[in-house]
Structure 1
């Protein structure tokens, strides 16, 4: 595999008209960006970790990180290794007993783990060449450079791909996120509705034969 490209999370964005989210990764040594569409829950999980918000109970990616720690599996890095038929493929590299192992993963889950474990995010150069977005080269001096939660002006193609998205970081209702996922051990766990008994269908009655009417004399 060729030398991987290290990236950082530039921003998390939300579609203006649909629930779609996108994580924008920026190449460290270049003004090149890689947008990856993710699910709403994964976007929230990444954003919560970026903001270093402490949840009352561990979320799924917190739990997974804790499982790695319990089994003495050291998280080394996460990778985006392939783009096939518009689907990104990710990988979590871990070390167990001196051996390096690779865990197949969706990029969204891998990124959520990377933020929590503070490990590098690497991208295959072929993926970056195919799906990366390069900003306009000639930028005015007064333009604001890209940073955390901001983006540099993009090329026309890049602008079209991200024009319907806005920044997602800071727009989460964190209290609602924490309350929407009740603890399974909690006594307030909702009880399932009891199914209502249904009456058996009545068999169709056969039509009675009609007796002929007597003719009038």
Structure 2
């Protein structure tokens, strides 16, 4: 097993798909897992050390496990079948280890909340891991897919940041406009 760190959550501007980027702890190898918006948000919120006004699904999962006396031991990305990743969450419940099948995105969102390690099976890393310096470790077809995934992510990182800034500026403009309208309405009510 190879231990991973969550490096980042990114967006592909062409497709609006989100990807979680996992980096091998002691190597320059990466795995990209395409995930849904909700799970991307849940992971990003925690990585940015912010919070949601109400508990997100993964916060509820964490609270349920802990309130029943359990703890998350590890998350393992164990297989890749037809470009679908499979993972398990290993729990300690009353001294007994239990493995629960989970989507990697959910397992990762939980792992970052409880600071549990994330592992990938060596055969999965061999099949889809990306080494920016050397992509020859994967088969030719898998190497091409890995290079395309890397290119999709790399070309969109700067654009994603610019899009975030643009969206924030647009939202700020909307809020300022709403504030002006509210102030005008307040002045109108006060004059009556």
Q: Indicate whether the TM-score tops 0.5.
A: yes
Determine which structure has the larger helix proportion and give its number. 2
Report if aligned partners of 1:11, 1:169 keep a CA contact under 8 Å in 2. no
Q: CA deviation at 1:12?
A: 1.3
SS of equivalent residue, structure 1 residue 113: helix
Residue number in structure 2 paired with 1:212? none
Question: Hey, what's the Cα distance between the residues in 2 that align with 1:128 and 1:134?
Answer: 10
Report if aligned partners of 2:29, 2:129 keep a CA contact under 8 Å in 1. yes
1:27 aligns with 2:31: no
Q: CA deviation at 1:55?
A: 1.7
Report if aligned partners of 1:134, 1:158 keep a CA contact under 8 Å in 2. no
Q: CA deviation at 1:85?
A: 1.1
1:15 aligns with 2:12: yes
Q: Which has the larger radius of gyration?
A: 1
* Unpaired segments ≥5 residues, structure 1: 138-154, 177-217
Question: Hey, what's the Cα distance between the residues in 2 that align with 1:163 and 1:82?
Answer: 24
1:164 aligns with 2:152: yes
* Unpaired segments ≥5 residues, structure 2: 135-142, 172-192
User: Can you list the C-alpha shifts for 1:155-194, whole angstroms capped at 9, x where unaligned?
Assistant: 98644323233346894989x9xxxxxxxxxxxxxxxxxx
Taking structure 1 as the reference length, the TM-score comes to 0.66
Question: Hey, what's the Cα distance between the residues in 2 that align with 1:169 and 1:45?
Answer: 18
Question: Hey, what's the Cα distance between the residues in 1 that align with 2:51 and 2:8?
Answer: 20
1:49 aligns with 2:46: yes
**Residues 1:61 and 1:5: Cα distance change in structure 2 (over 3 Å):** same
User: Can you list the C-alpha shifts for 1:42-78, whole angstroms capped at 9, x where unaligned?
Assistant: 1111000101112211011001110001101111111
1:64 aligns with 2:61: yes
Question: Hey, what's the Cα distance between the residues in 1 that align with 2:161 and 2:87?
Answer: 23
User: Can you list the C-alpha shifts for 1:97-116, whole angstroms capped at 9, x where unaligned?
Assistant: 11000010000000000100
Residue number in structure 1 paired with 2:97? 100
Greater than 4 Å deviation, 4+ residue runs: 155-159
Question: Hey, what's the Cα distance between the residues in 2 that align with 1:162 and 1:70?
Answer: 40
RMSD: 2.4
Question: Hey, what's the Cα distance between the residues in 1 that align with 2:35 and 2:110?
Answer: 14
SS of equivalent residue, structure 1 residue 82: strand
Report if aligned partners of 2:128, 2:146 keep a CA contact under 8 Å in 1. no
Residue number in structure 2 paired with 1:84? 81
